[in-house]
Chains A and B, each alone.
Chain A
Amino acid sequence: MSKRIDVKDLNVYYSKFLAVEDVNIEIEAKSVTAFIGPSGCGKSTFLRTLNRMHEVIPGGRVEGEVLLDGDNLYEPGVDPVTVRSQIGMVFQRPNPFPTMSIKDNVLAGVKLNGKKISRSDADSLVEKSLRGANLWNEVKDRLDKPGSGLSGGQQQRLCIARTIAVKPQVILMDEPCSALDPISTLAIEDLINELKSEFTVVIVTHNMQQAARVSDKTAFFNIAGTGKPGKLIEYADTATIFSNPSVKATEDYVSGRFG
């Protein structure tokens, strides 16, 4: 239940503005890959191109190929909806649907698409997904309460449960811990380690310790200056990036010598 992603010569645009230039990267199945880099370097923008969320923004478009186990996401005739149901996404700020209960939030991906699901199947899917997100024990007694009543960390894990309930191949995480306290962050990091056994995980983070703790491979993005496109500078095993990077800019960034 997980697939690899290969990106070939990808350019990302906002209308005419080139935001990310010429990215080539191979992301292994059942691994955790972290994207690090300074603010505005395009790592989040690039992440959103991996499940065609970038084009939701007016003017957002790409050139190049993103292959999911060899199938190009951007081939004409590919429905972005199909892509997104295979490549899920968790956002920076927890965003449970405010009108739905905890249970309905988990089932959102199934129910919103109008798929019929039997009561028992639904119950087992809810339990499995919430257990998968390490949230089951905390919410099993209040599944019918609104999801917005949970703490920030719980809400974020609810969003992860909601994502894995759709049974994607890949989970993209856009700074999932930046709005959370350290304890909630730890819970999410533990969860990412467990998710690796079933899913391909790609995570954008500002926190280099976090990248070092959770990821197998790390990609460093950088930007030459404002108005210039972001670029993939270096991509290697996490241990290599943090101990023995081959590019000076990477070393400066991970050692904190970067402006």
Chain B
Amino acid sequence: MTTNALRRNGSKGQAGDKVFSGAALGAGILILATLLAVAIFLFIQALPTFTADPTLITGGEGFASYIFPIVIGTVIAAAIALLIATPVGIAVALFISHYAPRRLAAGLGYVIDLLAAIPSVIYGAWGYLVLAPALVPTFQWLAANLGFIPIFAGPASQTGKTILTAGIVLAVMVLPIITSLSREIFLQTPKLHEEAALALGATRWEMITMSVLPFARPGIVSAVMLGLGRALGETMAVALVLSTGGLIPSLIKSGNQTIAAEIALNFPEAFGLRLAELIAAGLVLFVITLVVNLIARAIIARHKEFSGAN
């Protein structure tokens, strides 16, 4: 009953469409499958850690007491990084968006992006061979003059390979993340708000605190969270820079350890239960960074809905 002339050759060439859309769909599903596989395979390989006799785990007291100090170490290193990188990063973003001459601004943005492009192992090498020795006098001064504060308790490390050094290297690495995201949001501040503030006779700084920062606050928060995610997961800077050890409060002595560095340092020689332990540690790191990133994304997503109103 093919009376309809339009149906002739109807299916010719439709195979191409099917193959192509199928491939696109398949690629998308592959990504979902990969992520699921990350979770499943890590879990399978980590499983022996949770079932094994606690005395066989490194430290001899089970996985929880093995992982706890290095989780804290990870948090300390990331916290130092953020304490430094957040104010500097925001200030640099402000410099590029509101202070630097227009013609320079784009180029400066590119310079900051270069910071992000340098491989982490080179930052690690720099921290190990340049920054750590350079910080030794400062650490000794801190130990001598502020040693009564537990975080600066002496005697200071003679090599400078401390968690504070690692934190500073991490700060350099997360700075471009915070700067580039904040800068984008600063540039989106409605010109009307800025001009309204200036027309009231506000100084530049008052204009920024009145109109730019309130507008950008959710964006800054999520930028910092993304930076935190990076700082928590960064491996090389810590593995190379930190002279590891048990959990201690002093930031200027050797000691402390982070999850990522623990894995990198021990993995090449690990086998059997030790391997499972390290993979379990990786799983813990995965979950922590996942939560941090999800919070950051949630903040961005909520912010998106409101930014259109301006």
Contact = CB atoms under 8 A, between A and B. Distances in A.
Q: In their complex, do chains A and B touch, with some C-beta pair under 8 Å?
A: yes
Interface of A: 68-69, 71-73, 75, 77-79, 81-83, 86, 113
B4 interface: yes
B6 A86 contact: yes
Secondary structure class of chain B's binding surface, majority of residues: loop
B13 A68 contact: no
A79 B14 contact: yes
Contacts of B11: 79
B263 to A, nearest CB: 45
Contact of B7 (A77, A81, A86, A113): A77
A79 B15 CA distance: 12
Contacts of B55: none
A78 B13 contact: no
A8 to B, nearest CB: 15
A69 B8 CA distance: 15
Contacts, number: 34
Interface of B: 3-11, 13-14
Residue from the set B7, B11, B13 with the largest chain A CB neighbour count within 10 Å:
B7
Contacts of A77: 4, 7, 10
A75 B6 CA distance: 9
B13 to A, nearest CB: 7
B8 to A, nearest CB: 8
A68 B6 CA distance: 9
13 contacts: A68-B6, A69-B5, A71-B3, A72-B6, A75-B4, A78-B6, A79-B10, A79-B11, A79-B14, A82-B6, A82-B9, A83-B6, A113-B13
A73 B6 CA distance: 7
Contacts of B3: 71
Nearest to B4: A71
Given A75-B4, A81-B13, 19 more contacts: A71-B3, A71-B4, A71-B5, A72-B4, A72-B6, A77-B4, A77-B7, A77-B10, A78-B4, A78-B6, A78-B7, A78-B10, A79-B6, A79-B10, A79-B11, A79-B14, A82-B6, A82-B8, A86-B6
Nearest to A3: B5
Contacts of A73: 6
A51 to B, nearest CB: 11
Contacts of B7: 75, 77-79
Nearest to B12: A79
A97 B11 CA distance: 27
Contacts of B14: 79, 81
A113 B6 CA distance: 18
A82 B10 contact: yes
A113 B17 CA distance: 12
Contacts of A78: 4, 6-7, 10
Nearest to B10: A79
Contacts of A82: 6, 8-10
A113 B3 CA distance: 26
Contacts of B10: 77-79, 82
A60 B10 CA distance: 21
